[in-house]
């Protein structure tokens, strides 16, 4: 713990009584409102239908955990699928292990790490755990995607949980999602939920090549977003009615550079949306 910058994080008590972690540098709380375990279960495990997909899956099932943070999402996946025989591989990406080290130091208060403390310790110490089925790659994720054909085996599911666009715009640009889509295998169905429901994000995902749908509610959010490389993985694909709303939105144009701003759709983006297979 000597190298941990404790002053960068603090425990916070949410309104429902559970604990979470707040990044003081980013001024954002991990899994606010409902807490780490509940949000991870609803947003990722249930929305991705992970148990059902793994039960019928043959071979290795690859999950990209983009934004490891304090590992609530990855552990929710491990806990929900621990009794299944399918070979599950989780590859976590982040630029720092500090939040996870902090979480392990406060495992009792946080609760969701129960039973996985030794696994997390091994991951922190070696970068790998569970006989290599869970590994972490520390790097700048946008740069990793930009500079490599694919930084890991193509995923069947992506847990996308970066800090907000206002705080971390580089993780929400049009180029990042285009690079991420390029890493997918067209023959391997893959879905990616995330907590945002913003029009800007949904337009960005569509223009990057994804199919996009409305996602499950979590906490204070009545709706989230789920993207996929096939329509079959979406329960509620966005419709042309949504498309017309996007055209009128004051915050719809993707971020083409890692500078947060909000603006109307450009004519070029609107014309590209109209040609997207989802709206044909």
Dihedral angle sign, alpha carbons of residues 170, 203, 64, 67: positive
Closest CA to 234 of 48, 42, 54: 48
Q: Is residue 262 part of a domain?
A: no
Say how many C-beta atoms besides its own lie within 10 A of residue 195's C-beta: 20
In a domain, 251, yes or no: no
**% the chain with pLDDT above 90:** 92
Q: What is residue 149's predicted lDDT score, i.e. its pLDDT?
A: 81
| Under 8 Å between Cβ of 242 and 211 | no
pLDDT of residue 2: 38
Is the pLDDT score of 90 beyond 60? Answer: yes
| pLDDT for position 148 | 84
Residue 250 domain-assigned (yes or no): no
Identify whether 188 is part of a domain. yes
Number of domains in the chain: 1
Predicted confidence at residue 33, as pLDDT, reads 84
Domain limits at 167?
6-239
In a domain, 65, yes or no: yes
pLDDT above 70 covers what percent of the chain? 97
Give me the pLDDT at residue 51, please.
96
Using CA atoms, how far apart are residues 29 and 22, in angstroms rounded to an integer? 4
Sorted by sequence, the CB contacts under 8 Å of residue 60 that are 6+ apart come out as 87, 88, 89, 153
pLDDT tens digits, 164-216: 999 999 999 999 999 999 999 999 999 999 999 999 999 999 999 999 999 98
**Does 1 map to a domain?**
no
pLDDT (tens digit per residue) in 53-83: 999 999 999 999 999 999 999 999 999 999 9
User: Which of left, alpha, beta for 35 (phi over 0: left; psi -120 to 50: alpha)?
Assistant: left
Q: What is the mean pLDDT of residues 259-270?
A: 97
Q: Per-residue pLDDT tens for 147-163?
A: 988 889 999 999 999 99
What CATH number is attached to the domain comprising 149? 3.40.50.150
Tell me the average pLDDT of the chain: 94
In a domain, 83, yes or no: yes
Cα 31 to chain center, whole Å? 12
Strand-pairing partners, residue 61, are 88
| Structure confidence at residue 189 (pLDDT) | 97
Alpha-carbon distances, residue 206 vs 243, 254, 255, 259 (angstroms)? 11, 10, 13, 20
- Alpha carbons within 13 A on the beta-carbon side of 251: 10
Residue 244 domain-assigned (yes or no): no
Is the pLDDT at 5 greater than 70, yes or no? Answer: no
- Between 271 and 151, the higher pLDDT residue: 271
The arithmetic mean of pLDDT across residues 233-240, rounded, is 96
Q: For position 1, what pLDDT does the model report?
A: 38
> 13 pLDDT band (50/70/90 cuts)?
very high
């Amino acid at each position: 713990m000597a190298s941990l910058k404790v002053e960068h994080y603090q425990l916070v008590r949410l309104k429902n009584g559970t604990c979470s972690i707040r990044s003081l540098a980013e001024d954002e709380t991990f899994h606010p409102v409902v807490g780490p375990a509940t949000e991870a279960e609803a947003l990722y495990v249930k929305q991705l239908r992970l148990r059902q997909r793994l039960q019928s899956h043959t071979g290795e099932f690859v999950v990209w955990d983009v934004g490891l943070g304090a590992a609530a999402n990855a552990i929710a996946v491990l806990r929900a699928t621990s009794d299944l025989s399918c070979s599950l591989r989780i590859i976590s990406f982040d630029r720092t292990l500090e939040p996870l080290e902090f979480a392990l130091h406060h495992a009792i208060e946080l609760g969701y790490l129960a039973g996985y403390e030794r696994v997390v310790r091994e991951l922190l110490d070696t970068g790998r755990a569970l006989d290599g089925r869970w590994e972490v790659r520390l790097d700048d994720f946008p740069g990793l995607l930009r500079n490599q054909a694919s930084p890991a085996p193509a995923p069947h599911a992506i847990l996308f949980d970066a800090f907000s666009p206002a705080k971390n715009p580089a993780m929400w640009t049009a180029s990042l999602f285009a690079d991420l889509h390029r890493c997918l295998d067209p023959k391997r169905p893959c879905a990616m939920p995330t907590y945002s429901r913003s029009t800007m994000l949904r337009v960005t995902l569509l223009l990057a090549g994804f199919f996009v749908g409305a996602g499950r509610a979590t906490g204070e959010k009545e709706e989230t977003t789920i993207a996929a490389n096939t329509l079959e993985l979406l329960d509620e694909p966005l419709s042309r009615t949504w498309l017309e709303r996007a055209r009128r939105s004051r915050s719809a144009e993707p971020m083409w550079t890692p500078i947060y701003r909000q603006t109307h759709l450009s004519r070029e983006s609107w014309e590209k949306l109209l040609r997207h297979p989802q709206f044909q």
